[in-house]
Structures are given as C-alpha cells and as structure tokens.
Amino acid sequence: MRYTYTLFLMLAVALVVCSCEESRPSQERPKAQSISQESGSWIPLFNGIDLDDWIAKIHHYESGDNFGNTFRVEDGIIKVRYDQYGETFNDRFGHLYYKTPFSHYHLVVEYRFTGELYPGAPEYTLLNSGVMFHSQDPRTMPKEQNWPISVELQFLAGLGDGQPRATGNMCSPGTHVEHNGVLVEDHIIESSAKTYDKDAWVRAELIVHGDSLVTHIIEGDTVLQYSKPQIGGGVVERYDPDVKVDGTPLKEGYIALQSEGQPIDFRKVEIKLLD
C-alpha cells in the first residue's frame, strides 16, 4: 500500500513539472507591452529583439520597405546602417515609425553616433539625426515624399573642431511652432544643450502635451520649450495635399527614428503616457 501511494505521488509531481514546462515559452522574447490609455508607467517601445512593432519608410520606396536593411537589430540595439546602398546615398532619407500614434507622453531615447557619413549624403547630415514626433502616418506618404510632416527633436554631435554644436534642437518639416509666444517659420530653433562627441551615449527626453507645450531634455537638463505645433511651412516635398492642410493643430501623431546618411545607434526607446 505504501509503495502504491509513493508511486502515485511521484506520478503526480511528474505531471505538474511537465505541465509547467509545456506552458513555458520555447524562447524568452520580451515584447513591447501593449499600449493602453493608462498613464504612469514606463513602456519599452523597442523590445531589444526585433522590429516587429515598427514600420520603415524610406524616400523612393513604399511604406514598409526597409530598403538595404537600413534599420536592423544587433546586440540588442537598433542600428542604422547603409552598407547595402551601393555607390551613393541618393537622398534615401528614412524613418522608422512605431506602429501607434501618441498625444500626451514622456519619451526617452538613448542614442550615439558612430561610423562615417555615407558617400553622397548631404554635408548637413554629418553627425545629424533625430526623432520625429506628431508625424503623419507613414502609410499616407507617397513613395517620393522626402520627409514626413512632423516635428523633430534633432540630434547632433560635435565635429571635433572645438566649436559648440548643441544637440536637442527643434526642426519643423512641414510644420510650425510657437516659441516665446511668437509663431516661428524658421526650420530650426536651437537649444541650450551642451556639445556631445561622436561615440558617446546621450539620453534625450521629450515631454509632449498634445498641441500645447513641448519640452526637450538632454542629459537631465531642460534645453528647449515651445508650444502649439501645427501643420505649415516648407521643406517637405511631393506630399499628398489632402494630408498637408496648413494651420491644422498637431494634437497627436507617430514617433519615428531618423536615418539620413550618418550611422547611429539607439539602445533605449521608452514612453510614459501622461494625462
């Protein structure tokens, strides 16, 4: 009787272990959490494994075509590379969009510039990249539209010449903002950030309140604030006129990592939704 009871107990334990093993994922694969309207917690938009939650749009190509494997994941990092572009860059400016639009949020991105500017890329793109926000849906961009209608948190690195070159500026392709209560039609508003060198990791933050206040933060310092982002202005070419309705307030939009000829790495992309 004791032998039968012992055998039964061993069988029960074995069944529990097998059940647990079957329910365990065959591969640990941290996916980005589903984005709800609840605020207060940090949510990784990049899972460190793949770009399944992202959409590439590169100039001269249809939305979803990640030409030349421009955006890739290696060593747990999003890398922007051009080794499959052939002899010249050919204005193949690209953007990698997270699949969901956002309105009120706090975004954190950690980036570093690396490598050399690809041959044929414009000189102004040297150690130059950024994060686009309040962007149009990439699926509304014609194949030959060069830039998305959006606002940009611009990233720059020092050129090694001892001259200041602040990162964290604002660029406005197809948009305008108000700065110090005045509508700014210039393409760039410079920040008060320090100069950071190539190959240095930099923490950039963006706090966005719909079409109200926008704040740029670099390495913990507030370096720029402006308000009332709206559609307007130039730079963007060959767009759908039904999408670019000047004067329309930008209350929400997509977030995108930029590619414009300079290799760059992104190791963290996290968001906190705000009320």
Q: Which percentage of the chain shows pLDDT scores above 90?
A: 84
Q: Give Cα 140 distance to the centre of its chain.
A: 18
Q: How is residue 197 written in tokens?
A: 């060198």
Count the helix, strand and coil residues of the chain and give each as a percent rounded to the nearest 5: 10, 35, 50
Virtual torsion, Cα 68, 123, 196, 50, nearest 10 deg: -10
Q: How confident is the model at residue 38, as a pLDDT?
A: 58
Q: Which amino acid is at 77?
A: I
Q: How confident is the model at residue 198, as a pLDDT?
A: 97
Mean pLDDT, residues 216-224: 98
Residue 179 has pLDDT above 50, yes or no: yes
How far apart, in whole angstroms, are the C-alpha atoms of residue 258 and residue 48? 18
pLDDT tens digits, one per residue of 127-150: 999 999 999 999 999 999 999 999
- Residue 37 makes CB contacts below 8 A (sequence gap 6+) with 273
pTM of the model: 0.86
Are 70 and 56 a contacting pair, CB within 8 Å?
A: yes
More confident residue, 35 or 201: 201
Q: How confident is the model at residue 232, as a pLDDT?
A: 97
Q: How confident is the model at residue 20, as a pLDDT?
A: 42
* DSSP per position, 204-270: EEEEEETTSEEEEEETTEEEEEEEEEEE--SS--S--TTT--TT-B---BEEEEEESSS-EEEEEEE
Residue 27 has pLDDT above 60, yes or no: no
Mean pLDDT, residues 3-27: 40
- Residue 2 makes CB contacts below 8 A (sequence gap 6+) with none
Strand 202-209, strand 104-113: pairing: antiparallel
Q: How confident is the model at residue 221, as a pLDDT?
A: 98
62-92 CB burial, b ≥16 within 10 A, e <16: ebeebbbebbebeeebbbbbbeebeeebeeb
Q: What's the pLDDT band for 33 if we cut at 50, 70, 90? A: very low
Residue 14 has pLDDT above 90, yes or no: no
More confident residue, 169 or 12: 169
Mean pLDDT, residues 179-205: 96
pLDDT tens digits, one per residue of 223-252: 999 999 999 999 999 999 999 999 999 999
Mean pLDDT, residues 180-189: 94
More confident residue, 14 or 91: 91
Q: How confident is the model at residue 39, as a pLDDT?
A: 61
Q: How confident is the model at residue 275, as a pLDDT?
A: 85
CATH class of 36-273: mainly beta
Q: What's the pLDDT band for 10 if we cut at 50, 70, 90? A: very low
Residue 9 has pLDDT above 50, yes or no: no
- Residue 58 makes CB contacts below 8 A (sequence gap 6+) with 65, 66, 67, 70, 92, 93, 94, 95, 259
Q: How confident is the model at residue 40, as a pLDDT?
A: 79
Q: How confident is the model at residue 19, as a pLDDT?
A: 41
Which helix (H) or strand (E) covers residue 10, if one does?
Answer: helix 2-23
